[in-house]
Amino acid sequence: MFGKYVRATSVMVVMAQPLCPNAPAFEVCSFGTNNKFTASDVENRRKTIENEFKKIEITFLTYSADGDSKEMKMMRDRLQLARQTVPDLKEELKRRWKWFAVDLIDTCIPVQDIIHIGAKCRTRLLKDKPLILGNFIASSSDIEYLLSLSHVSKDQHLLKENDLNLKDKMNYGADERLCNQEI
């Protein structure tokens, strides 16, 4: 009756936030997923929701997600990050921010909240993959080295041992400390 049964490992909830003052967010839809979807599936879902909204005269202005890698890949692809096809824009962006350039898009703009980007960067850093930040490369060994220095006290570097605990994915304080330019 319902096709092949697939056990859901997580629930996806799609929310909308009206632009009217004091209007509460509302659930657009929710569904179970086995997390075997791709960035292409995410883009198809986004297009479907945008088209359904269009039918009832709702403008879909922006799209955000909780930092899922497939969601972020869809956003990167949609924005065509790192593609350099608009020379004037590319040059202006490169002067301001040497680390990225994005082409202009004509509809819904995907965004990602900074706390989830920080959590993703921290996870990558702690998995011993080099993390490129602008013109710099960071690694977990850099942080471990800083923590091991006896002449640099905790009140100077502000880090905690638990900041390097990969199992604590919701440690947003660690994200903030690890992104601190002073550290």
What is the Cα–Cα distance from 105 to 25, expressed in whole angstroms? Answer: 26
- Structure token digits, residue 39: 């960035």
Q: What is the value of pTM for the model shown? A: 0.58
At a CB cut-off of 8 Å and minimum separation 6, what does 50 contact? 60, 107, 108
- Structure token digits, residue 163: 């900041």
Return the minimum-mean-pLDDT range out of 98-107, 134-143, 158-167, 168-177.
98-107
More confident: 49 or 9: 49
Cβ neighbour number for residue 46 with a 10 Å cutoff: 21
Question: What Cα–Cα distance (Å) separates residue 163 from each residue in 90, 112, 137, 178?
Answer: 36, 22, 19, 8
Q: Does the CA dihedral 92-96-101-107 come out positive or negative?
A: negative
More confident: 6 or 154: 154
| pLDDT at residue 22 in the model | 92
Return the minimum-mean-pLDDT range out of 63-77, 101-115, 117-131.
101-115
| pLDDT at residue 138 in the model | 81
| pLDDT at residue 1 in the model | 42
Is residue 179 predicted with pLDDT exceeding 80? no
Give 85's pLDDT tier (boundaries 50, 70, 90): low
